[in-house]
Structure 1
Amino acid sequence: MRRPLDGIKVLDLTHGVAGPYCTMILGDLGCEIVKVEKPGRGDATRYMNVSDKFHAEIPRVGGDYFLAINRNKRAITLEMKSPEGRKVCEELAAWADVVVQNFRPGVTKRLGLDYESLRKFNPRLIYGNISAYGTEGDMAEKAGMDIAVQARSGLLSITGAHGSKEPVRPGASIADFGGGIYLTTAIVTALFDRERTGEGQEVSVSLLDATMSMLINYSVAVMDGKAQLAPLGSGHPQLVPYQALPTADGHVVVATGTNKTYREFCVAIGEPGLADDPMFASNQSRVKNREALIEKLSVVFRRKTTAQWIEVLEAADVPCAPVNDLQTAFDDLEATSPGMTSTIDHAGVGKLSQLGVPFRFSNCAGELRTPPPMLGEHTEQVLRELGRTDAQIEAMRAARVI
């Protein structure tokens, strides 16, 4: 099937997580991506590993973080601080439909690679910025990474064990990945707008704005109601029961999003009286009397195993789930979401597992086409496409531009 963004070209000046995740999504949807890395070491995520299978001391391959979020890209090395390196970037900006960068505010302007500089070579250019704190507020110049943004957003203050005062980082880089998704949305929107107007534009997303936007369900309660929120473990401040409950051999998550579902849940577990009790009859009363209800439910749920409760609750069509570890979750994904796991041949590590493309279209499809690139794997190829001769390429290498 055709890819929805076939023909769109992207100059990827990003590094780290949020920016490369954005360009990976664009690549999955069919964009042609040229990723620029610094000669020698490349993207810092080439050195980030959890698994011992990947060795950070071999930067040409990359750590498991890099290998997870950089597929469907060609990679070149380029010293952008050099005049020749800047010239190559200008030529690539003229070739591209989109430029994406996530340097700290002001860096691209000093390099001569900001939107105002590059639009001279391509008035139809869409230029995407992603930064920790944006470009306009009093935090714009501050250094920031995912955990710092999560802390400032308030997310760390509501994450953790029930009653805990210790900040807990969620297990995923919510600010980075959320920011990458928001920037992807903005870029695709700007491309659509360009189809109507013929004009390019600059679009920007901050990780803080993206993270705060994902806390939108708390916004009215906090800004207008001055609500004070604290960690609830797996619980939800606005729905009860909506959390993990202890079983005879682990935990099971239960999600009763409506009073009707709660009543069906009570009948299914053999406790219909909990639905009729005025303390628990409505969601508002359950939120108010959370502690008392969870205490009663915990006693009930410890009588059966997780598997037994899953069978009971699924038969009653009550949303529920076991609390899987990551290995189980990834192992199960092939059955629960066909197409979401695959392998691809990688020059440095052999068979490499990759998550699939999460979008589903009726008339087109995203696609995993090429593995995450080796450092500088496509430098000569791209430079030749720009018209450089072998002699010129060798001169650039000798001058450490590439």
Structure 2
Amino acid sequence: MARKTCVCGFCENINHPSVCAACVNRRLNDKYKWINALQNERDTLHKTLDEKLKAKDKAGEQRRWMLIHAEKIEQLKERLRLKENQLLQEKSKLEEKINESHSRETFLHDACSVLEKNAVEKRKKHTDEMCSKSAGHTMARLELLQKQSIAIKQLCRVFPLCKVHDGGEKKDGSNSENYYQICNVRLPQGTRPHSVSPEELGASLGYMLQLLNLVVRYLYAPLLLNSGFAGSCSRVWQRTSYWDSVPLPRSEHPLFIPLQNGSTASQGNSWSEQSSSDYGVASMESSGRPHSVGSSSFNYGSSSLQSIDTHKDLKEGIFLLKKSVACVTAYFYNSCSLPPPTRMTTFEAFEKLLSFVSSKDPRAFLSSKESKSR
């Protein structure tokens, strides 16, 4: 075994290196330097390896990203190709439709030209016949208006409707308002049933209902209600619709103030069995009607639920009757191409309508209208 050189004499003599403390420390320092060098080299290799791994991962991610986006680009290119083909097909269809519409427009234009030419020829050929038919139509309308005028004039004599001004004063000192009366019986103001006495309320609304039924028959006007004329005990029903005359359920509304003991209903049935030639005048003298004069307001606090419901039904009945009267008035004025009356109450406009029909104004208006149209 070869001897190792050592500067230490003691270690050299016993041929055991690094026995003394100086040699041990020197050797330890050499080993420590060598270990530090190896650690530095290891750290350098780790750092280099980490950089290479990161670069490899980044390159892998880029390759994956490129593959994914390449697939998406291919899909988008395929969709673009399909959309372009679809666009070309739609353009071809649109062009076909445009050409078809142009051909149809040309055909319609030619057809309209032919029809217009035929119409001009027909007018030239049948002018005299058209004039004679128009004259006959005018004469028929004039005759109808004349008959309507006679009938309405007779109705106005049987059921006189006029405005009356009460010159007296109310209890609070204010002047009383104007009101309308039919057959010398006052009609209620607005939808207030207690603005007149119960006797006048039932009789006047019964007269108005009968007058409305007769006017509708002679003027061929629509009616918005079903009526049960029974003089002072008349009733109305709300129709299902304008075309369906079947009354609605629970749509019966009285046009009078019924008694609490139910005697009014029996009197109404007995009255309806009498002859209708007196138009309910005898019912005014019926002993079963209440004789107390009603006030202008209704006290809900002192009334039962039954009387409150009866009062509401009565107001709805009055409203339905006035609505039907207004409908007849508007229908006649529109059928004659006349401006409807404005700023008038329902009964005032209805009175103007009856006066207009019973006069010579409709016939003169129709004659002037026909002459202007010629």
**What TM-score, normalized by structure 2, do the two folds share?**
0.22
Which is strand-richer, 1 or 2? 1
Which is helix-richer, 1 or 2? 2
**What TM-score, normalized by structure 1, do the two folds share?**
0.21
Please tell me whether Structure 1 or Structure 2 has the larger radius of gyration of its CA atoms.
2
